[in-house]
Amino acid sequence: MIIVIQCPDKVGLVAAISGVIANERLNIISMREHVDAIENRFFVRIEVAQSSVSDEFEQKLRNVLPHNATITINPEPQKRIVVMVTKEYHCLADILIRNYFGTLGANLLCVIGNHNNLQNICERFGVPFFWLSHEEKSKERFEDEIGEVITQYDPDYVVLAKFMRILSPGFTARFAGKLINIHHSFLPAFIGANPYRQAFERGVKLIGATAHFVTDDLDEGPIIAQQIIPVDHSFTTADMVKAGKEIETSVLAKALQLVFDDRVFVYKNKTVVFE
């Protein structure tokens, strides 16, 4: 069972929480905590051997925590996700394979695409595909159609696996905290379109990818995971794109694993990640 807590910091929190757990006769397997001294914020993730607790356990925790603490006890171990795509297959293919073999840590409910290029591969894996074209319709109508499908499935998270459309502030607010994006750049460098061309023209020696939560600010949401790989003068733009696709797949897979395992805490525009 997992217990995750976020609250203002104060002296004695670890001892107080441990005391409540001990009195409940729960055996702690692991306990990871962090204090953001600047924000005076306390974060803790606790794994215990038992699979259930008494009805009074959460209230007992609240009695020793600041009044506005956020507590989640035993989150759903198998998250529910919807994936959104455009034309690129590499991140989606990795998710489909992991979902098929039961190693994703989530249940893939459906895929939404604004092009139908990836419909066939989804059907091969038995995953529903919704083709919702953005053409010849307003942005508002397009996003309303997407929102209707997402709401129908009621997922825990919506994964933008190379979904190449900028979402409106209204849409991101509607699904705040649920949208996870893979960006083809080591943010905050080279935001927006054509990052590999930007990197090539700048003559960089490292390229990377960033998985982050989506907010109203383009490519500036809380970062979950990042990786980089070296490149040199011999790399063309095409070489960078090829290498970039591999690292994008890897970073997104890592980020999803962390989120699905309830190892990521979000506070303001930053994350605390217990790997």
User: For the stretch 130-167, what's the b/e string if a residue is b when 16 or more beta carbons lie within 10 angstroms of its beta carbon?
Assistant: bebebeeeeeeebbebbeebbeeeebbbbbbbbbeeeb
Q: Is 92 exposed, middle or buried (0-12, 13-18, 19+ CB in 10 A)?
A: buried
d(CA 111, CA 86): 10
The contacts found for 269-272 with CB under 8 angstroms, 24 or more apart, are 269/215, 269/220, 269/221, 269/222, 270/222, 270/223, 271/213, 271/222, 271/223, 271/224, 272/34, 272/36, 272/43
Of 144, 154, 216, 219, which residue is the catalytic one? 219
The reply to whether 239 belongs to the active site is no
**Active-site residue set:** 219
